[in-house]
């Protein structure tokens, strides 16, 4: 096993960091398949390689890029080509500009960004590595709440080895959530500096713990003997919005923030299941006891939740909603059952983990109290059958052998107990406002092979006819489900795969992707997703942008748009090389889209100096709705 203590982890993605805890084989069967495909590609020239079925079907069955471009009439734009440079590209007739960059002021007394900054004022600037976001209209003012998932110490602080106390505090301040007012001016949208609605939420912001886990012994610490208050939220990845206008931020890879000053500490099975070890990403445990599991073993149980924030009240205390479960939350997609109960769909972004649904006990109508809606309800985990049907398995004490508090704290174990379906890293979930259906990005799973299990021992092998059919799945797919009777409160559903990403140029068989993947729109690792008011499916990627080998012809990470009924998919935007395209929201009249660009390469967006994670605005030159 690789030694995480002896490895420089500062530039690793969170997925790669997890690999340190559970390394994969250096050479795999997938590599051999692609090597063979690349050799065959030389023989076939520029023809698309679709696997053995192509020879039977004939050249007439090969997928056409031209057909996609001609038929994409519902998208409102001409699809664009891939890019491999360090810039943003949007369709003809569209423009973009930067709205907020890491280090930009939210308040006029914040420090100027001089290719970096120190501790002072680092909690009064736009944070690092933007991710999920939502825009709210607060009494006619437009307010964006946006996550800051993690940091890049090599560019955020001076030290490259042992961090100082001030540097660790700086890193803590740069993560969490920004709430900022934006306004349209002569040069487009920009941040309203000193707006009374502006706010930074970070690792030391006081929060309330609510729901079935609140006050449980496992959440009590010396600093919080009641187990009902906690400092901070961390690794805020995807997002969501409630029907009553609050922001949901999701704690994902919280495990990587905890370590032990005792390298020989024996880890509990609970810690192993959640990937909590003796080494952290940012050295917090070396200077702050609450991140040291040898001194404060209960602190990790206070993270891994969804946090509700009121963007209209900068004095409000964020609330961790433990009834929604504890795991590596990607995002939260809220909708409503036919009888008025609140429904929240969620994914646990780790190989072989599960998809979840929360259904409130009470119903809600606009104007009614929201008290208890996200505290009193039931969690379900998804079971997908190979005949295209599925069901939501209730995580009850009877089914799991756990009480309500333990189901909320050890949710993965509860889902294992009911034998839910192990998935290929469930990322963003999106619910259609026009059709009774929902989608989830299953971003990839290079470890899905015969005999592979998740950390709890549940088999996560490839299963034909399931949502996770491919061995060593490097490309990802999007699963879609339709609840019985069109009711998101229903237990039963039917499902299909909306798209299987792949490479029709170098892939073989299933690695070529589904029929709606072409040489002109191919991509890998679908991650972010939104369904707009017209029902179009916006897909954002966080994958391999090397443009080499298995990923030849895919270019940089990108944002695409899919039609829910025809299945057509068209590329709308490409990000700078090195970046993830993540987070999408619209202004009030939907004429401007706000998009997040995380960990860009080069010197984007300034053209010189350090790269700066940013939120950009994209709009049509004719002022019409985007898309």
β-strands 236-241, 229-231: how paired? unpaired
Residue that is written with structure tokens 């099975």 in the block = 269
Q: According to the model, what pLDDT value does residue 29 have?
A: 65
Q: What is the CATH number of the domain that holds 78?
A: 2.120.10.30
**Domain hosting residue 253, numbered range:** 4-620
What pLDDT, on a 0 to 100 scale, did the predictor assign at position 24?
Answer: 62
**Residue 95 structure tokens:** 């423009």
- Asked if the structure places residue 29 within a domain, the reply is yes
Q: Name the residue among 255, 285, 265, 380 with its Cα closest to residue 325.
A: 380
pTM (predicted TM-score): 0.93
pLDDT of residue 625: 95
Walk across the sheet containing 319-321 and list its strands. Answer: 229-231, 206-210, 319-321, 306-309, 247-251, 236-241
Query: Can you give the pLDDT at residue 37?
Result: 58
Residues of the chain with pLDDT under 70: 1-8, 21-73
Q: Is residue 625 part of a domain?
A: no
How far is the C-alpha of 8 from the C-alpha of 5, rounded, in Å?
8
- The reply to whether 169 falls in a domain is yes
Position 45 scores a pLDDT of: 39
In a domain, 171, yes or no: yes
Contacts of 237 (CB under 8 A, 6+ apart): 131, 132, 147, 149, 250, 251, 252, 253, 329, 330, 331, 349
User: How many CA atoms are closer than 13 Å to the CA of 3, on its beta-carbon side?
Assistant: 4
Instruction: Report CA-CA distances (Å) from 268 to 110, 274, 293, 414.
Output: 43, 10, 11, 17
* pLDDT, tens digit (0-9, with 9 covering 90-100), for 123-153: 999 999 999 999 999 999 999 999 999 999 9
Backbone angles phi, psi at 273, to 5 degrees: -65, -35
Q: Is residue 383 part of a domain?
A: yes
Q: Is residue 627 part of a domain?
A: no
pLDDT at position 15: 77
Condensed to tens digits (0 to 9), the pLDDT of residues 29-81 reads: 666 665 665 555 443 333 333 332 222 223 232 333 434 344 444 788 999 99
Say how many domains are in the chain.
1
pLDDT of residue 507: 84
């Amino acid at each position: 096993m690789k030694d995480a203590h002896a490895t420089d982890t500062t530039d690793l993605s969170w997925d790669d960091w997890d690999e340190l805890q559970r390394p994969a084989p250096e050479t795999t069967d997938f590599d051999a398949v692609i090597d063979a495909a690349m050799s065959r590609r030389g023989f076939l020239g520029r023809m698309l390689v679709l696997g053995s079925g192509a020879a039977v079907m004939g050249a007439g069955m090969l997928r056409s890029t031209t057909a996609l471009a001609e038929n994409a009439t519902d998208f409102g734009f001409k699809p664009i080509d891939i890019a491999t440079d360090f810039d943003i590209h949007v369709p003809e007739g569209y423009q973009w500009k930067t709205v907020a960059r890491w280090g930009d002021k939210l308040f006029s007394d914040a420090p100027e960004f001089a290719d970096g900054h120190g501790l002072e004022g680092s909690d009064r600037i736009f944070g690092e590595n933007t991710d999920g976001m939502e825009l709210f209209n607060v009494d006619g003012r437009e307010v964006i709440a946006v996550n800051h998932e993690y940091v890049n110490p090599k560019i955020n602080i001076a030290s490259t080895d042992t961090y100082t106390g001030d540097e660790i505090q700086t890193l803590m301040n740069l993560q969490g959530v920004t709430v900022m007012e934006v306004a349209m001016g002569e040069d487009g949208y920009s941040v309203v500096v000193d707006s009374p609605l502006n706010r930074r939420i970070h690792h030391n912001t006081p929060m309330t713990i609510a729901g079935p886990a609140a006050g449980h012994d496992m959440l009590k610490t010396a600093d919080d003997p009641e187990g009902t208050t906690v400092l901070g939220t961390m690794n805020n990845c995807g997002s969501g919005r409630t029907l009553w206008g609050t922001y949901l931020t999701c704690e994902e890879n919280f495990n990587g923030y905890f370590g032990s000053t005792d390298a020989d500490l024996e880890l509990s099975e609970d810690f192993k299941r959640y990937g909590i070890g003796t080494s952290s990403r940012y050295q917090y445990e070396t200077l702050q006891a609450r991140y040291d599991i040898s001194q404060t073993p209960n602190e990790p149980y206070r993270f891994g939740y969804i946090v509700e924030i009121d963007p209209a009240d900068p004095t409000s205390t964020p609330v961790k909603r433990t009834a929604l479960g504890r795991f590596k939350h990607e995002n939260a997609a809220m909708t409503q059952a036919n009888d008025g109960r609140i429904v929240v769909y969620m994914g646990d972004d780790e190989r072989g983990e599960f998809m979840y649904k929360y259904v409130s006990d009470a119903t809600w109508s606009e104007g009614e109290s929201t008290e208890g809606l996200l505290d009193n309800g039931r969690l379900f985990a998804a079971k997908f059958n190979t005949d295209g049907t599925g069901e939501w398995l209730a995580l009850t004490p009877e089914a799991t052998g756990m009480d309500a508090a333990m189901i909320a704290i050890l949710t993965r174990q509860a889902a294992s107990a009911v034998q839910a379906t192990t998935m290929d890293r469930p990322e963003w979930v999106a619910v259609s406002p026009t059709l009774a259906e929902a989608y989830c990005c299953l971003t990839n799973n290079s470890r899905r092979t015969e005999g592979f299990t998740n950390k709890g021992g549940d088999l996560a092998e490839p299963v034909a006819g399931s949502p996770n059919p491919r061995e060593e799945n490097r490309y990802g797919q999007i699963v879609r489900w339709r609840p019985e009777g069109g009711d998101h409160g229903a237990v039963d559903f039917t499902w299909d795969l909306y798209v299987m990403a792949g490479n029709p140029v170098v892939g073989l068989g299933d690695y070529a992707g589904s029929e709606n993947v072409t040489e002109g729109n191919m991509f890998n690792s679908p991650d972010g997703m939104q369904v707009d008011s017209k029902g179009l499916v916006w897909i954002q990627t966080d994958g391999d942008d090397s443009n080499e080998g298995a990923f030849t012809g895919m270019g940089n990470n990108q944002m695409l748009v899919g039609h829910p009924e025809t299945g057509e998919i068209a590329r709308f935007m490409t990000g700078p090389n090195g970046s993830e395209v993540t987070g999408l929201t619209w202004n009030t009249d939907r004429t401007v889209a706000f998009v997040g660009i995380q960990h860009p390469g080069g010197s984007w967006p300034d053209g010189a100096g350090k790269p700066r994670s940013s939120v950009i605005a994209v709009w049509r030159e004719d002022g019409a709705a985007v898309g």
